[in-house]
Amino acid sequence: AHTIRLILGDQLNPRHHWFENTDPGVLYVLMEVRQETDYVLHHAQKIIAIFAAMRAFAGKLRQQGHRVRYVTLDDPSNRHSITDNLDALFARYQAQRMQWQLPDEWRLDQCLQNWAKAGTFEYETVDTDHFLTDRNEMSHLFKGRKQWLMEHFYRVMRRKWNVLIAADGSPVGGKWNFDKENRKPWPGTPAEPDDTRSVHDHSALWAMIEGCGVKSFGDSQAQTFRWPCDRDEALSQLEAFVEHTLPHFGDYEDAMSVSSERLFHSLLSFALNTKMLHPLEVVRRVEQAHEAGHAPLAAVEGFIRQIIGWREYVRGIYWSQMPGYDQLNGLDHHRPLPSWFWTGQTRMNCLRHSIGQSLKTAHAHHIQRLMVIGNFSLLAGLDPQELHRWYLGVYIDAFEWVELPNTAGMSQWADQGLIATKPYVSSAAYIDRMSDYCKTCHYNKKQKTSDQACPFNALYWNFFEHHGPTLRQNPRLVMAYRQIGKMNNEQRAEIRNRAQWILEHIESL
């Protein structure tokens, strides 16, 4: 082979332009390495799903007549570093040229560039043919602005890709955003759609991974394992979503319930982030469902906003802020994560369900991530970098370009408001409005300072008091500070004491 082309574990796009022709002079390389299993402690299902999908992808390429070298984790020649393996493969195949698709993570981007610069071969990077923006597009758009509003970016994207735009150039339905009609609590009907995804038995692959000594957490069991491992599975998942789930997506987008883990979310993030599906094909399919009268505009617009809006937006943030974004700690929070992040064993019902579900399925939906786990973490002053590593490890869809801006920026305000105009915090009132968690909780959602009072409540007011110097001037927090202003000294002291007690007993809440 004269050319080696590297394919990373999140670059499983069978429609990439590379694969249009077969060329015996090109060797495709995929590898399972400890560098990638170990850069953070991962959920077992995440490791299994990525390796299983890589294996299926390599198989497909071979079937199409491409030359493939697949290095398994237990291959005796595996050096467990991407670039050390590449060195060995270069020598073995006497290659002269190296090509790779632009990595989405800064870590790997640097690693490959530094390696190639030190080498004596020709090298070239190509696009992944996946995103709707290039890495630096958003920096150009927001140049010189202090705040980078998603809504502004989203409208630019709608126009750029002609998504839900009427013939006269206006947004379909006369508005850009229909969220006022969305976001209801879920009363228990309509029923959660059946999970039509196929169940995989990956026990042999898992035995190999464990046999190699890879550390992990979360449930590895085959019976709970339903992540798509190739494009065909991902496409049938998309169809099932559009058919049964999309019509209710908007209504219950922010709802949470003890009796439904999924509600009406798509569970497409793994397929999207590993590039089995293209964002625009998902968007067009959903748009078409609306045109065919199958799904209301509010649901369709809300869903599309997540994909062409938020998903591309956080990627733009990532590339504009790295390196360094992973070090930010705008509120100076340093408390270690309580051990129940790894067990789900807490009496706080909302957290027990959200973390428990994350450990069981490697997934939680957006509001669980933001307004339960993230909310508590921010109120309790947990270390945003340690929290970032937890999110990066636990979720099936977590790759740093999308996870870090969501965790550190949107959820923990570590960037002091570059993404979020105010910190996403709430007391029990919000969680109670959007879920049924509080109904069966050990704690009392209404009380602030009693022994049984919901911990979110005292922590919430304490958070604003404590961060007064940083947050008081924020125009979006006027109401919160006005309410604090109405409390007398005794009430404030009670809240402070209760918050203090909660933080000291965080392990046993």
Instruction: Using CB under 6 A, pick the residue from 13, 349, 354, 361 that binds ligand SF4.
Output: 349
10, 273 in Cβ contact below 8 A?
Answer: yes
Instruction: Using CB under 6 A, pick the residue from 282, 350, 382, 502 that binds ligand SF4.
Output: 350
Q: Is the peptide bond before 323 cis (omega within 30 degrees of 0)?
A: yes
Rule CB under 6 A: say whether 406 interacts with ligand FAD: yes
Residue 506 CA, chain-centre distance (Å), reads 26
User: Closest approach of Cβ 88 to ligand FAD, in Å?
Assistant: 32
Judged by CB under 6 A, the chain residues 340 through 369 that form the site for ligand FAD are 365-366, 369
User: Closest approach of Cβ 483 to ligand FAD, in Å?
Assistant: 26
85, 78 in Cβ contact below 8 A?
Answer: yes
Taking Cα atoms as reference points, which of 87, 98, 91 lies closest to residue 26?
Answer: 98
Instruction: Using CB under 6 A, pick the residue from 131, 270, 437, 461 that binds ligand SF4.
Output: 437
CA dihedral (46, 52, 56, 57) in degrees, to 10, reads: 40
**Burial of 20 per CB tally in 10 Å (0-12, 13-18, 19+):** exposed
Q: Find which of ligand FAD, ligand SF4, none residue 438 binds, CB within 5 to 8 Å per kind.
A: ligand SF4
Rule CB under 6 A: say whether 445 interacts with ligand SF4: yes
Q: Find which of ligand SF4, ligand FAD, none residue 365 binds, CB within 5 to 8 Å per kind.
A: ligand FAD
Instruction: Using CB under 6 A, pick the residue from 48, 454, 458, 506 that binds ligand SF4.
Output: 454
Stretch that binds ligand FAD, among 59-67, 95-103, 160-168, 392-400 (CB under 6 A): 392-400
User: Closest approach of Cβ 313 to ligand FAD, in Å?
Assistant: 8
Q: How far apart are CA 374 and CA 155, in angstroms?
A: 27
Question: How many residues are recorded in the chain?
Answer: 509
Q: Six-digit token pair at 307? A: 């994909």
Rule CB under 6 A: say whether 391 interacts with ligand FAD: yes
User: Closest approach of Cβ 484 to ligand SF4, in Å?
Assistant: 20
Instruction: Using CB under 6 A, pick the residue from 57, 443, 461, 464 that binds ligand SF4.
Output: 443
Coil/strand/helix, residue 456:
helix
Residue 471 CA, chain-centre distance (Å), reads 27
Rule CB under 6 A: say whether 310 interacts with ligand FAD: yes
Rule CB under 6 A: say whether 403 interacts with ligand FAD: yes
Backbone angles phi, psi at 165, to 5 degrees: -120, 130
Coil/strand/helix, residue 17:
helix
Rule CB under 6 A: say whether 374 interacts with ligand FAD: yes
Lateral strand order in the sheet of 3-6: 67-71, 26-31, 3-6, 97-101, 122-126
37, 15 in Cβ contact below 8 A?
Answer: no
Rule CB under 6 A: say whether 402 interacts with ligand FAD: yes
User: Closest approach of Cβ 355 to ligand SF4, in Å?
Assistant: 12
Q: Six-digit token pair at 105? A: 């993570």
Rule CB under 6 A: say whether 394 interacts with ligand FAD: no
Nearer to ligand FAD, 226 or 448 (CB): 226
Rule CB under 6 A: say whether 311 interacts with ligand FAD: yes
- Centre a 10 Å sphere on the Cβ of residue 9 and count the other Cβ atoms it contains: 19
Rule CB under 6 A: say whether 306 interacts with ligand FAD: yes
Pairing of strands 67-71, 42-43: unpaired
Nearer to ligand SF4, 37 or 435 (CB): 435
| 289 membership: H or E segment, kind and range | helix 279-291
User: Closest approach of Cβ 405 to ligand FAD, in Å?
Assistant: 8
Judged by CB under 6 A, the chain residues 460 through 499 that form the site for ligand FAD are none
Q: What is the DSSP letter of 488?
A: -
Rule CB under 6 A: say whether 441 interacts with ligand SF4: yes
Q: How far apart are CA 137 and CA 139, in angstroms?
A: 6
Judged by CB under 6 A, the chain residues 247 through 266 that form the site for ligand FAD are 265-266
Binding residues for ligand SF4 (CB under 6 A): 348-350, 428, 431-432, 437-438, 441, 443, 445, 454, 456
Binding residues for ligand FAD (CB under 6 A): 265-269, 272-273, 306-307, 310-311, 314, 365-366, 369-370, 374, 391, 395, 397-398, 402-403, 406-407, 410-411
